[in-house]
Amino acid sequence: MRQWAIVAFVALWASSASAAQLASISAGQQASGEWSVAAPFSTAEMKWTGRLRIDGPGVLELCYPGDGSTALRTFAGPTDGWQEIALHLRVNPPLAELRVRWFFTSETGAASCWLEEATVEPLYQHQIPKIDAPPVIDGDLSDACWNAAAYVGDPYWRMYNEARDARMATEVWCCYDDQNLYVAFRCETPDVEELVSRVSERDGFAWRDDSAEIFFDIGHDHDTYYEYIINPDEVVFDSKWFYEGGEWLSDWNYIGEWRTAVEPGAWLVEIRLALESYEERDLRGRPTGFMPLPTGDVAGILFSRNDRVLGESMSHADCVGSFHEVHQYGHLVGFRPNRVEAYRNTALRELEALEEQWRQVFYGAGQPDLSSMHTAIQRIPDALADLRGRIEAPAPAFEDWVAIGADLDALEERMVIARSAMAPLIARHRDPDAPWAIAVADVPRTPPALVEMRDDLQLEAARGEAEGVALAILPLSGSVDAIRVQTTPLHGPGDTIAATAIDWFRVGADGVLTPEFAASGERPTFLWWEVRVPRGARPGTYWGEIITTDGENAVSLPVTLTVHDFVLPETPSLAVSVALDSPGIAEAWYGDRAPLGAGEYWPFVELLVRHRVVPREMLADLTHWSDGEGLNLSRAERLFDRATALGVRSDALIAARPENLSGLDDPARALARALDGWERTMGQRPIPVYAAPGAELPVDLREIDRLQSIAAVDATDGPSLSAALLGTWAISPEAATGVGDCAQARLAALASRSEKSLAWRIAGAPRSYIDGRMVGWIAEDRGVGRIFWDAAGLVSYLDGDQPLRDPCPTVMLKAVRDGVEDHQYLTMLNELNALLGKKQVGDRMWRLRLVNQTTSRRNWDMVMNTRSYSRDYDHLLRRRQRIARQIERSRRWLRALGVEGELPGGELTAAAPR
């Protein structure tokens, strides 16, 4: 399914073009409002301009989506008459509007704010013309198509690594027909004799020469894009930056033609790129006649240039960081090439896959009467027939292909619903005598809802990793009674994963996983089945069954587990520290708010640490706090020793809560003594204090302890007086990365002015399994190694109103653990790739590194920003499997290259490289 689909809007500007009074206020007052532009497509950029006047002592703050972040601009009054203002707006997914919010405040007296001539115009949006007469590709730019309509605009491009425009002009023209994209460059230079053009072989590093570049995101998905570079001697580097068809096609080449020429003061390029180039390729790099269906008439494009005479690199659109920031590209608008047969081939392939799915579901269910089912299911046969007719029509238009693609996606969603609704019928048809069936549930939902009948269950995991799956027990003949899971071992390559390494739980309505249950009743029961792969397990494929039984009957589901040839470290790469309300737990268990004892606390510690998260207050709650000699760390030390054996991250622990210190006569001395004791025990100092929002700290703490402490700060309430004293603020990921709302942007700006370090704080439990799991991907994408999670709902110690015998995990805790393990996969591959970089041996090693980099770092299909990320669970699993394969390949090659010592991923037991 295509992601980041384009949504079309009509641009509307809500403000008046004439002078308007925004607000007139008195001292101590604030007024606010907003204007908005409906985004014409994802990541559209606009320039907002106007004239501002402030009469009196007022402050106007403008909050708007900037270049990848929520930007703030402040204007103080009174102004000296009218003042010109300009804002650079860009849609930041998942936003659909370019909204400018304004806040006008006066602290000391009456003030008025006026805005005049507010206008908005598109930026980096080329209305590309479709031509009838193609140019002759000879380096001569006198062809009629290189006209004003094809001219891209502003020739003085932006430096990508400096805050200024390039000194030399670069003019570009761009047009197209149904067969080709045409581009022409005129690259101004102070001396054509000084042009650098040393690369002489195709796919050499042409960007090191004077060169013109095109980066093309033809599907506008902000993920899959193509690169084209040419130097003055017509030597080309071209590549595609995504993984396709199960094999990395590093020898991908454009189809087309190109010529360069030189004239006084400039060198010229004329290019024809065949749209056939963007078809899928076979393993020999040849187009196959299948082209992805268009999602709209907008494509992402970046024209760039390397000027080696002056030492500048620049692009026509702002592209901060590098030319590979695909989500920052400009756009071709009205790009409507009608590749009828290539689109038809792709659409038919997708349709035939859906038709086969429907046949499997319909006939697998025994050809049931559809009239009693949901309307969406009843209409599937007609929808399939209608789509086939539209696809096979003689000459569908471009917009027809856009609509067909959208309808194929919608029909795929309906097929998921059909598989779920008809799962009991499929089970009855397969085995009419079975009293119940086992189906695979839709794990991102909590509780799981959609189910699918499968012939077997296929899982993958590293050594030292747990892999779970949500299942459903479907009653088929009335009520079932006391169905339990019979744990059985998995048998593999000369090894066995014992039944004791397999857990199963009932999934409650609130996502609580309760062990040792019996399924009964007439409704489906959801369970979580999980295998913990021993660290010493042999890599390879293991087989077994999930057997359910009521004592008389048994129903099973075959299981295949692939164990990867690497081991996850016990101590995770991502430190997730979770708040644990031990007084609240004690109250639920014992009826008072006394802290838990070590015995009662340990089950919570063990449960959390085994899920690769840290109970933040473990040390603080088990320390006996006292001003004098009564300070005692012994209970906490014993607990820490036990937790260390499980891989606890000690840098995520705190020495004290604020309330631990508030009743002491000399809190600074007590905290200092505790920190000294923990440094002796742990070899490092824990975080001195973590202050929850609104918590009050003792004022006499040592400066070093205050600066190393962390305050959790909410954007709505702002920092407390205590928080202002601490060195680090834990704020939301959205605020920390600049994509939050205006209140979060203000908080981040205040933290910057106050010179605070920033940490991530997540408040509340994840909304779904996928939201919890993606935290690991987002943190790795943003280079964050530690997260403070103030979350209820990860651990349950109540069953209804009654305390449980032991704390129970939740589906959300499983999600967080899985996300931490995903972070470890990405970290491990990056570490291996860094080692490969020290062993650059020939072209093959360069290609392996490129695949690794693309697999681990080019994650726009997974993470756009902290609010916009993939929720496609199957896509996540496919990406994770690719990462695992690259880890194994990299480890084998490093061993073959003679790298000594322990590699990331543990000891190697596999065969030679291949």
pLDDT digits (tens, 9 = 90+) for 823-868: 999 999 999 999 988 876 555 677 788 778 878 776 777 887 777 7
Mean pLDDT across the stretch 258-263? 96
Answer left, alpha or beta for residue 749, where phi above 0 means left and psi between -120 and 50 means alpha: alpha
Q: How many residues does this entry show for the chain?
A: 914
Which runs of E-coded beta strand occur in 728-867? 728-731, 757-763, 786-790, 795-799, 802-809
Would the pLDDT of 601 be above 60?
yes
Question: Which run of H or E residues covers position 48?
Answer: strand 45-55
- Using CA of residue 633, residue 637, residue 638, residue 639, what is the dihedral sign? positive
> What confidence category does residue 380 fall into, taking pLDDT thresholds of 50, 70 and 90?
very high
pLDDT of residue 262: 96
Nearest CA to 910 out of 851, 890, 533 is that of 890
Tell me how far apart the alpha carbons of residues 569 and 664 are, in angstroms, rounded to a whole number. Answer: 40
Among 128-132, 507-511, 595-599, 873-877, where is mean pLDDT lowest? Answer: 595-599
pLDDT of residue 407: 97
Tell me how far apart the alpha carbons of residues 262 and 241 are, in angstroms, rounded to a whole number. Answer: 31
- Residue written as token pair 């019979």: 486
Q: What are phi and psi of 423, to 5 degrees?
A: -55, -45
Mean pLDDT across the stretch 603-609? 91
> What confidence category does residue 228 fall into, taking pLDDT thresholds of 50, 70 and 90?
very high
Answer left, alpha or beta for residue 139, where phi above 0 means left and psi between -120 and 50 means alpha: left
Asked if 705 and 668 touch (Cβ cutoff 8 Å), the reply is yes
Q: What is the DSSP letter of 247?
A: B
pLDDT of residue 911: 36
In a 3-state reduction of DSSP, which class is residue 800?
A: coil
Q: What is the pTM of this model?
A: 0.89
Would the pLDDT of 332 be above 50?
yes
Half-sphere exposure of 794 (CA within 13 A, CB side): 32
Total Cβ atoms within 10 A of residue 513: 24
Tell me how far apart the alpha carbons of residues 322 and 858 are, in angstroms, rounded to a whole number. Answer: 13
Tell me how far apart the alpha carbons of residues 57 and 378 are, in angstroms, rounded to a whole number. Answer: 66
Question: Which run of H or E residues covers position 887?
Answer: helix 873-896
Nearest CA to 159 out of 1, 311, 34 is that of 311
pLDDT of residue 450: 78
> What confidence category does residue 52 fall into, taking pLDDT thresholds of 50, 70 and 90?
very high
Which tokens go with 371? Answer: 């009239």
Would the pLDDT of 730 be above 50?
yes
pLDDT of residue 445: 56
Which runs of E-coded beta strand occur in 407-515? 436-441, 451-452, 457-463, 466-475, 480-486, 490-491, 496-497, 502-507, 513-515
> What confidence category does residue 342 fall into, taking pLDDT thresholds of 50, 70 and 90?
very high
Tell me how far apart the alpha carbons of residues 894 and 412 are, in angstroms, rounded to a whole number. Answer: 42
pLDDT of residue 907: 59
Give the chain's end-to-end CA distance (angstroms, integer): 32
Which tokens go with 454? Answer: 């499968």
pLDDT of residue 153: 87
Q: What are phi and psi of 803, to 5 degrees?
A: -70, 145
Asked if 4 and 864 touch (Cβ cutoff 8 Å), the reply is yes
Asked if 858 and 241 touch (Cβ cutoff 8 Å), the reply is yes
- Residue written as token pair 């490969």: 836
Q: Residue 329: CB partners within 8 Å, gap ≥ 6?
A: 43, 124, 215, 217, 225, 300, 301, 302, 317, 319
Half-sphere exposure of 103 (CA within 13 A, CB side): 12
> What confidence category does residue 186 fall into, taking pLDDT thresholds of 50, 70 and 90?
very high
Total Cβ atoms within 10 A of residue 385: 11
Residue bearing the bigger pLDDT, 708 or 445 = 708
Which runs of E-coded beta strand occur in 135-235? 158-159, 170-176, 180-188, 211-217, 226-230
pLDDT of residue 326: 85
Would the pLDDT of 243 be above 70?
no
Q: Which whole-number Å values give the CA distances from 495 to 503, 563, 717, in the listed order?
A: 19, 11, 57
Asked if 220 and 300 touch (Cβ cutoff 8 Å), the reply is yes
Total Cβ atoms within 10 A of residue 465: 22
Beta strands at 45-55 and 111-123: parallel, antiparallel or unpaired: antiparallel
Residue bearing the bigger pLDDT, 694 or 760 = 760
